[in-house]
């Protein structure tokens, strides 16, 4: 691994102060509904912008994960029993906010036989029931690439099926020690096969982080793999180290390099590349879906 970075964060990574009436209203609403968001649990730098605009990425199945990825601020450890009322509460919150597009993700739950697939599908179904016409993006764990679990989610017909590759294969052992690059590619491939078989309309999406020790050639190779496995949308953002115990930042990638990566991705065949220092998986999710003909 390259030496960890010692320089201060550059100006383009400065996060605006969070707060204000709309921001606090969103936090109160989430607390009242006993809901988690990845915005808070993963300490997303964009949560101020999203909360203020009345959007959030809902985090299903608790705020504790059965895996311990070294880049992620969601804690790993002992998980709780699934809350069967959670899908309805998410849907009620989506309706209350008047959302036209909802983003839902989850912790990884290797303790469950289906990885939580039925719970994710139930949430999509409740959103559909209470907010007809609301688009849905789901960012799912790998579900061990088990076809029955994945097809449970696909059959719920999200507009966007997102599963993040997160990083280059060489860094998986350091950053995703309980995951596998080929398993994640299989998730994306099965989503594309579902669409290509005419079983439903669904945009396939993935995302990666940079600044963790990768080369541009390695990122380009991941892009080629993504295209080969049916991905249409790719997000690329700067990794920010949540704490001293997490994987170190190796370098801060300049905005111009993100532009270069986006251009490479489009040349390789990706329909949309959202790339920038503060880009995260759900950033501008509605705009991406609408641009590609979704909800």
pLDDT digits (tens, 9 = 90+) for 158-170: 999 999 999 999 9
| Calpha distance 204→93 (Å, rounded) | 25
When comparing pLDDT for 42 and 177, which is higher? 177
Confidence of residue 245 (pLDDT cuts 50, 70, 90): very high
When comparing pLDDT for 170 and 55, which is higher? 170
- Please report which residue ranges of 98-177 form alpha helices under DSSP H: 117-130, 147-155, 172-175
Contacts 24+ apart (CB under 8 A), 143-146: 143/114, 143/115, 143/116, 143/117, 143/187, 144/110, 144/115, 144/183, 145/183, 145/184, 145/186, 145/187, 145/190, 146/114, 146/115
On whether the CB atoms of residues 95 and 280 are closer than 8 A, the answer is: no
Structure tokens at 140: 């799912």
pLDDT at residue 290, as a whole number: 84
Q: Provide the b/e sequence for 173-193 (b: ≥16 CB within 10 Å).
A: eebbeebebeebbbbbbbbbe
Q: In what order do the strands lie in the sheet with 101-106?
A: 36-37, 57-60, 101-106, 135-139, 160-162, 203-210, 233-238, 272-276
Average pLDDT over residues 88-100: 89
Give the single-character DSSP code of 79. Answer: P
pLDDT at residue 39, as a whole number: 45
Which DSSP helix (H) or strand (E) runs through 259? helix 255-268
Confidence of residue 191 (pLDDT cuts 50, 70, 90): very high
Domains of the chain, first to last: 11-291 (3.20.20.70)
Structure tokens at 264: 């490479």
Average pLDDT over residues 274-290: 86
Kindly tell me if the per-residue pLDDT of 289 is higher than 90.
Answer: no
| Calpha distance 57→204 (Å, rounded) | 18
Structure tokens at 19: 């707060």
> 33: Cβ–Cβ under 8 A, 6 or more apart, which residues?
89, 90, 92, 93
Confidence of residue 201 (pLDDT cuts 50, 70, 90): very high
| Calpha distance 32→92 (Å, rounded) | 12
Average pLDDT over residues 168-192: 98
When comparing pLDDT for 38 and 78, which is higher? 78
């Amino acid at each position: 691994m390259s030496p960890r970075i010692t320089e201060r964060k550059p100006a383009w990574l400065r996060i605006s102060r969070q707060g204000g009436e709309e921001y606090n209203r969103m936090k109160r609403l989430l607390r009242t509904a006993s809901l988690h968001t990845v915005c808070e649990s993963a300490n997303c730098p964009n949560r101020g912008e999203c909360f203020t605009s009345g959007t959030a990425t809902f985090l299903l199945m608790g705020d504790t994960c059965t895996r311990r990825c070294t880049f992620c601020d969601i804690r790993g450890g002992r998980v709780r029993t699934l809350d069967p009322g959670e899908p309805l509460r998410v849907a009620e919150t989506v309706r209350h906010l008047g959302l036209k597009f909802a983003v839902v993700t989850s912790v990884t739950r290797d303790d469950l036989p289906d990885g939580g697939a039925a719970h994710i599908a139930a949430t999509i179904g409740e959103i559909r029931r209470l907010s007809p016409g609301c688009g849905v993006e789901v960012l799912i764990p790998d579900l061990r690439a088990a076809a029955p679990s994945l097809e449970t989610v696909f059959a719920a017909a999200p507009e966007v099926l997102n599963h993040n590759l997160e990083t280059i294969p060489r860094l998986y052992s350091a950053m995703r020690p309980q995951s596998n690059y080929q398993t994640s590619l299989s998730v994306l491939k099965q989503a594309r096969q579902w669409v290509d078989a005419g079983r439903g309309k669904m945009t396939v999406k993935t995302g990666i982080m940079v600044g963790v020790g990768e080369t541009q050639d390695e990122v380009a190779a991941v892009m080629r793999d993504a295209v080969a496995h049916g991905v249409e949308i790719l997000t690329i953002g700067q990794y920010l180290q949540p704490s001293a115990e997490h994987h170190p930042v190796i370098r801060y990638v300049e905005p111009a390099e993100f532009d270069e990566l986006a251009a490479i991705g489009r040349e390789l065949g990706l329909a949309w590349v959202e790339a920038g220092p503060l880009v995260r998986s759900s950033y501008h999710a509605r705009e991406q879906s609408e641009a590609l003909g979704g909800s």
